[in-house]
A and B are shown apart, each in its own frame.
Chain A
Amino acid sequence: MIEPDNKFDSLGIIIARTSIMTGNARQAVDFGMGAAKKGKSVGIFLISDGVWNALNDSGNVSDIIGQLVNDGAKLYISDEHARAAGFPKDRVIEGAEFIEDTYKVLVNSVMEEWDKVIIC
């Protein structure tokens, strides 16, 4: 695993795919976990099919995301995309925030909140 360095304070992870479709989501949240352990602020934004990574009982990536949220990471989920996917909100990871204006919050996070951004 690539270890986070000290050149940034905050990390944003935008996930647009399920962990089943690609191993990139797992690598990204692992990196996020490493960043959190080094005291970095971590934010995760789930869009498109990536919303499925927020199911609280699906194991794998969602377990790590849940752990990150417990440790203080912000978890945003596109409400628009969750609705389109038929995502069951009663099974979402605790602490997640559904975002109505997906792109406004996404752009603001990228431009103003996060030093580094991973998209997968």
Chain B
Amino acid sequence: MLNSGSQGNPTPSTRPKKMKKDMGKTLTILLLRGPYISEYADLAANMALKARKMGYKVNMFLYLDGAWLPHVKTDKEYSNAGEWLRWAIKKGVTVKACHRCSEARDLTEDDIIPGVEISGLYGFLDMLAESDKVITFTG
């Protein structure tokens, strides 16, 4: 498996702090896959972070096994999707995890990265309503 974060992208600690202004468009990313089973979690988190850095408003909704992503919460010796998600949240990406999916996996807000709201599907509908583009990492 490739590790997107370790193959040339700057690490979070070397990323520029300056943020561009909101470009007025909103991207919502729906993630249905957990980390370490495919690269979708890495791709989704990296894409969210880059879109935010480029000035877009960005939402992520974590559904089904995507709810596992914010459970990757400790620093590791290698870049990982949890790290990219933490950085994305720090840069202003709005992240919500499906309540039912989290509950089914015994995930509470104490188990996951701070800044992720455990939300009902209505939270996803709100994201959809404001989005210019919605992309889905699934399958």
Contacts and interface: CB of A to CB of B under 8 A. Distances in A.
A85 B47 contact: no
B43 A47 contact: yes
A110 B54 CA distance: 13
B7 A80 contact: yes
Contact of A103 (B2, B25, B46, B132): B46
B136 A107 contact: no
A8 to B, nearest CB: 12
A11 to B, nearest CB: 13
B4 interface: yes
B135 A117 contact: yes
Given A111-B27, A111-B132, A84 B43 contact: no
Interface in B55-77: 56
Contact of A80 (B4, B39, B135): B4
Given A16-B43, A47-B43, A119-B137, A107 B51 contact: yes
Interface in B32-62: 38-40, 43, 46-47, 49-51, 54, 56
Contact of B139 (A24, A48, A100, A108): A24
Contacts of B39: 16, 48-49
Interface in A3-17: 14, 16-17
Nearest to B8: A80
Interface string A85-109: 1000000000000001011101110
Nearest to B58: A107
Contacts of B21: none
Contacts of B46: 103
Given A48-B43, A107-B27, A107-B47, A84 B2 contact: yes
A120 interface: yes
B135 A81 contact: no
A103 B47 CA distance: 6
Interface in A46-104: 47-49, 80-81, 83-85, 100, 102-104
Given A48-B43, A107-B54, 4 more contacts: A16-B43, A47-B43, A83-B8, A103-B9
Interface of A: 14, 16-17, 22, 24, 47-49, 80-81, 83-85, 100, 102-104, 106-108, 110-111, 117, 119-120
6 closest A-B pairs by CB: A103-B50, A84-B7, A107-B51, A48-B39, A80-B8, A84-B2
